[in-house]
Chains A and B, each alone.
Chain A
Amino acid sequence: MGAVSAVVGVGHTRYGRLPEFDAYELGLWALKDALADAGLRFGDIDGLIVNRIPDYQRFCEIAGISPDYVNITPGQGRFSGIDIETAAALIRDGLASTVALVYGNNGRSAGDRYGGAGDTYGSGGAGNWFPYGMTSPGAFHALMARRHMELYGTTPDHLGTVSKTFRDHAVLNPSAVMRNPFTLADYHASRYICEPLHLLDYCLINDGGVALILTSAERARDLKQPPVYVRGYGMATTLAGSMFPPDDFWRTSMRKAGAKSFRMAGVTPADISTLMIYDNFTPTVLFSLEGYGYCGEGESGPFVAEGHLALGARYPTNTSGGHLSESYMQGWALNLEAVLQVRGACGERQVKDCALAHYMAAAPVVTSIIYGKEPS
């Protein structure tokens, strides 16, 4: 059976500091851009999911739309994958035919902080540990990185290679916020935030918006852009006990979500052309490569050191620069990049013969989405 839905429009704002825009306006900017890209009108949208935008009703008022289906999801990066998978399911089940996914984030201008008093990362239980100074998603990932290093011999060089590789890609992306290349020596010289993680292991907090338009595979063929089919998707969670890092680096749930998506798409990791990996911090890239079957358990460090993630290599990864160097759009811009790569619209950073792109995330909720140029 072929793919049921496809991405037919993508849009985004500038990324960086945009203090004159709120989250609603950033979302609407991106949505206008995505509709223009798709050759569709506001009236064509009959399904809407907003993410990180505070209120769906207000957004619809501002946009002047009354979709049949509407939903809103919290401003956590895991929801980009969830929303895309939900949109595909809505289309499959006929609840909506054209779904707009709209993300607006004014976190930089609003002064959002990840860590310290007010930190609610994960289950919201963070405050219990403030007396010991434990706080922030970065520290959570630093704890996981240290454990990975001790168990498998992963090195700071391996993490640095991830960061450097994505920066090299960002150099080729006019939308990226950080475009100055750096060396591994620069990486090691950058200050520690939470050891073993350096500043260059952390994503960039910025303002911006992204929108995606999905519709049925059948309708997609009549639209302006070449359809990018949603070939397979899967999701799984590790939420019980999630106040603490998981023993298995989320591997069990990634295997489950990955298997679902590969089975639905009828492909294997060997068929994939490019990877888009949720890189809030460099260690999640290593965990993802192991969890989704691109290398064996504990082998991600050496795998990265062999250079496989670079443009021109076997699995060019985060060709936009990702969250580390393009902008932290919480998974949305990585999905947008996956679509552009499959379209063949990435210019200087285009992956050759890009037939299949795989978006994946490692987190308490994991999502795996496979995009393809062909429906089956």
Chain B
Amino acid sequence: MRPLPQTDGPDRPFWQALRRREVQVQRCRSCGMHRFPATRYCAHCRSDESEWVAVAPSGTLETWCVFHRPYFEGLPVPYTVIQVKLDCGVRVFANPAGVENGALRIGMPVDAVFEDVAPDVTLLMFKPKDR
């Protein structure tokens, strides 16, 4: 079994949204900047007024790497980690879904894939955007 996220902490709305096939992040009520993981204060304007909002489940591939040394039980190597910038500006690390490493390109548009990995946990992964 791969390591599982803490789904009942400050990021709970994010994990609950993934169960519903939706991407939600925090948005600052003062300046409108999106952010994730959750923080009390906005790093842009330092306001503590925020809300969780649904954002477009799409983004851009920024870079990737391939793990050959295992660090976690339940995650057999090799596996690929990608860095994606969501269209709302928030960055995440994730895994690619249904794409060979050789097809990965920086700047490639990607769409969210919702991967159920445990009865109550869904992870956010990405596939190349359908043309």
Interface-located stretch among B20-28, B51-59, B87-95:
B87-95
A111 → chain B closest CB, angstroms: 15
> Are the CB atoms of A194 and B63 closer together than 8 Å?
no
- Decide: A147 near B62, CB < 8 A? Known: A134-B93, A195-B68, A244-B91: yes
**A298 is an interface residue with CB less than 8 A from chain B:** no
> Are the CB atoms of B69 and A194 closer together than 8 Å?
yes
Task: Provide the B75-108 mask, 1 if CB < 8 A to any CB of A, else 0.
Answer: 1001101010000000101110000000001100
Task: Provide the B1-23 mask, 1 if CB < 8 A to any CB of A, else 0.
Answer: 01111000001000000000000
Closest to B65 in A: A142
B78 → chain A closest CB, angstroms: 8
A250 → chain B closest CB, angstroms: 15
Chain A residues whose CB sits within 8 angstroms of the CB of B83 once the complex forms: 143, 244-245
> Are the CB atoms of B66 and A192 closer together than 8 Å?
yes
- Decide: A132 near B105, CB < 8 A? Known: A143-B83, A195-B66, A245-B63: no
B126 → chain A closest CB, angstroms: 11
- Decide: A150 near B63, CB < 8 A? Known: A128-B37, A194-B68: yes
- Decide: A133 near B5, CB < 8 A? Known: A142-B65, A143-B65, A143-B83: no
A187 → chain B closest CB, angstroms: 15
**B64 is an interface residue with CB less than 8 A from chain A:** yes
- The docked-state distance in angstroms from the alpha carbon of A129 to that of B94 is 8
**A196 is an interface residue with CB less than 8 A from chain B:** yes
**A193 is an interface residue with CB less than 8 A from chain B:** yes
> Are the CB atoms of B95 and A133 closer together than 8 Å?
yes
> Are the CB atoms of A131 and B3 closer together than 8 Å?
yes
Chain B residues whose CB sits within 8 angstroms of the CB of A191 once the complex forms: 68
**A51 is an interface residue with CB less than 8 A from chain B:** no
Chain A residues whose CB sits within 8 angstroms of the CB of B72 once the complex forms: 116-117, 130, 133, 135
Closest to A138 in B: B69
- The docked-state distance in angstroms from the alpha carbon of A133 to that of B94 is 8
**B67 is an interface residue with CB less than 8 A from chain A:** yes
B45 → chain A closest CB, angstroms: 13
Task: Provide the A111-148 mask, 1 if CB < 8 A to any CB of B, else 0.
Answer: 00001110100000100111111111001001110110
A342 → chain B closest CB, angstroms: 38
- The docked-state distance in angstroms from the alpha carbon of A92 to that of B130 is 62
Can you list 23 A-B pairs, Cβ within 8 angstroms, ordered by A? A115-B69, A116-B71, A116-B72, A117-B3, A128-B11, A128-B37, A130-B72, A132-B95, A133-B2, A133-B79, A133-B95, A134-B93, A139-B65, A144-B63, A146-B63, A147-B63, A193-B69, A194-B65, A195-B65, A195-B78, A197-B65, A244-B91, A245-B83
Chain B interface residues toward A at CB < 8 A = 2-5, 11, 37, 43, 62-69, 71-72, 75, 78-79, 81, 83, 91, 93-95, 105-106, 117, 121, 123, 125
